[in-house]
Structure 1
């Protein structure tokens, strides 16, 4: 993998020396470089920028659309065995488990009709899943149907360890306050951070047994440092090993916000024109699906396909697979846009394997399976 990446870098992949064309699924870069893995050919679609470029593999997942139907592929994680576990919201199957070749190994669950968030945490050598059901499911004629939101801790084969119920039951929410959780993150000591991204936009912190500790954020917060508008994602940022932080999505603000483990504000990173989903941390990189962006001319609505993926080194955007190249002027990131060919429709989540390949889950993408972006 590294020899292939070095070849393309030396050859100047983004330069005019390589021919760039358009196809039905997006821009292609033509090269005849052969290595021990396979031959890139004229039909390959290459996405991304700089050192973060990928071959698009749309038909990675090997599943039958009739036997294993999909609605939306929301999130994916990789377990300690190298298996890729995905959460979706089809009433016949909520959790799908693949190997890295795309073969379906197992699937289970019908209780998470609004299956949305999926976090994996290794506890004493055993992988545990934290599943968020947002409380919204797709019903007949594509109409959204409301039910009770839910956070569940389960084994990888679906056995429920415990549930975290509505915050109203412990006096945190008032009667009538909606609880529509979208994500969880697990802290260094096992604390559970729940993002109520479709409800009150709070980050709610519990201990490892589900006992309430504190909450912060909220869509109506008058302090801009703590205001979260569509707190869609939450993760623990371990890139500074001596100072792990909680990083939260404020999607309507096109931003990530960082807090200490006990909820004290640290910083905000604004990503112009990128309505980002959950942050995914890997080495020094932060990856995120971009669910929506606006075109240079005109406006779109939330159902239009306007997404891509963004990749950061530290706090700097270095690549936008499916989007335009990130540009900084006087140190300020300029707006990024979806490519006109729309190779990625709605970036909802990114999973990274040990070879730095990416697996992209998409919402509202014509019932598509996860895509693979193969690192080159």
Structure 2
């Protein structure tokens, strides 16, 4: 017998398909929509912008902030947001909504796909920040949850204070996870105490590093918003950790030893997303020509090559290097994005850009040209 939940889900999906917003209607509802032929990016990484890609009903599947997206082994695009009517939305590459679930993550923020044997699993990070019914911002303890692709709970990673790792005055507001080839889990405490916490595949604590109190300040992290395992050099896998307030990535060994930093002046960068030889990342804010952060719509996307050199900035100005040093990058004159929070790269090298604080809009598709 079909459960009430499944009946509601399938009815809503049918309704969404019936009333999916066509591109012309989307342009009326969202006046910031760009013309169909607008291009963003530079050189070999130039893209056609499609803000009407996601064919969903805003009534059946409302959105608050679209935080992150991954592609699973079946080619489906899985998005995590912080609207508890549907934390998880699952699309095909045409933008059709295939499924949705989740109503327990008011701070839904980080989404990582883990491939274990022939199965896919998700690590969902709730950062603990949320808005109540009055619109006021509240904070509660963050959490990291491992599920299968249907939302079935596998296990949860609790507050590090419960195992004596954190002091009483250290907050835990995790923002991101990454999974190493051996199954080790790395949790970025980006809105809390800025540590990267390493666990084994069963969620048992190994170590933590980063934070604010290292003898060498280069080893500190300031807003450790993202973490990823970089396998571009398969013989020397590394961790790329975001230090967003410092406008850079910091690279560590898998056991937490600092290697180097990758400066991205003017860019408040989110997590690094390796794909092929490149790294992609959303820029949540950028600075103006005087070096002051623009808190309004100043985000874009940045793309680095295999040598960690910026080669394209969709939505931003072209990268400029002087004597091998990247100069501060400004947003483009014509705004494409409000805030870049995450980039998903599909198997055709198209991009899907999730945005924070973007007027309840779905991810933007960038089709490579």
- The TM-score normalised by the length of structure 1 is 0.87
Q: Which residue of 2 aligns with 1:305?
A: 297
Count of matched residue pairs: 338
Contact persistence 2:34–2:51 (CA under 8 A): no
CA-based RMSD of the aligned residues comes to: 1.5
Cross-structure match for 1:282: 275
1:110 corresponds in structure 2 to 103
Quick check: 1:87 aligned with 2:80?
Answer: yes
CA contact (8 A) 1:49 1:320 kept: yes
Provide, for residues 260-313 of structure 1, a one-character-per-residue CA deviation record: whole Å limited to 9, x for no partner: 1101111101100001000000011000000010122584553x1110000000
Deviation at 1:25, TM superposition (A): 5.3
Select which of 234, 240, 244 maps to 2:233: 240
Aligned partner of 2:41 in structure 1 is 48
Q: Is the 8 A contact 2:317 2:332 kept in 1?
A: yes
Residues 290 and 309, structure 1, Cα contact 8 Å, conserved in 2: yes
Q: Which residue of 1 aligns with 2:319?
A: 326
Whole-Å separation in 1 of the counterparts to 2:229 and 2:60: 37
Among 110, 113, 116, the residue aligned to 1:120: 113
Match of 1:97 among 90, 93, 99: 90
1:1-376 pair list within 5 angstroms: 43-297=36-290, 299-300=292-293, 302=295, 304-314=296-306, 315-376=308-369
* Secondary structure of the structure 2 residue equivalent to 1:322: coil
- How big is each residue's C-alpha offset from its partner over 1:19-62, in whole Å with a ceiling of 9 and x where there is no partner? xxxxx85987xxxxxxxxxxxxxx41100001000000001001
Secondary structure of 1:204's aligned partner:
strand
CA distance in 2, matches of 1:247, 1:176: 27
For the residue of structure 1 that corresponds to 2:87, the secondary structure is strand
Q: Distance in 2 between matches of 1:140 and 1:223?
A: 44
Do 1:70 and 1:367's aligned partners in 2 also have CA atoms closer than 8 Å?
yes
Q: Give the CA deviation at 1:225.
A: 2.4
* SS class of match (1:293): strand
Q: Which runs of 5+ in 2 are unaligned?
A: 1-30
Q: Distance in 2 between matches of 1:56 and 1:141?
A: 35
Instruction: Indicate the residue corresponding to 1:38 in structure 2.
Output: none
Question: Conserved in 2, the CA contact under 8 Å of 1:86 and 1:95?
Answer: yes
Contact 1:74 1:117 in 2 (8 A): yes
C-alpha distance in structure 2 between counterparts of 1:156 and 1:124, whole Å: 15
1:223-276 residue CA offsets vs partner (Å, 9 max, x unmatched):
222100000000000011100001100000001011111011111011000010
TM-score by length of 2: 0.89
Greater CA deviation, 73-82 or 256-265?
256-265
CA positional deviation for 1:320: 0.1
- Structure 1 residues 123, 177: CA separation in 2 closer, same or farther (over 3 Å shift)? same
Rounded to whole Å, the distance in 1 between the matches of 2:135 and 2:368 is 35
Aligned partners of 1:219 and 1:230 also within 8 Å? no
Which residue number corresponds to residue 3 of structure 1? none
Going from structure 1 to structure 2, the CA distance change for 1:81 and 1:27 (only over 3 Å counts) comes to closer
Is the Cα–Cα contact under 8 Å of residues 286 and 294 in structure 2 kept in the other structure?
no
The C-alpha deviation readout for 1:73-115, integer Å capped at 9, x for no partner, is 0000000000000000012111110000001111101111100
Distance 1:221 1:369 in 2: 40
Question: Is the contact between residue 34 and residue 50 of structure 2 (CA under 8 Å) also seen in structure 1?
Answer: no
Alpha-carbon distance in 2 for matches of 1:361, 1:252: 20
Distance in 1 between the 2:32 and 2:300 partners?
13
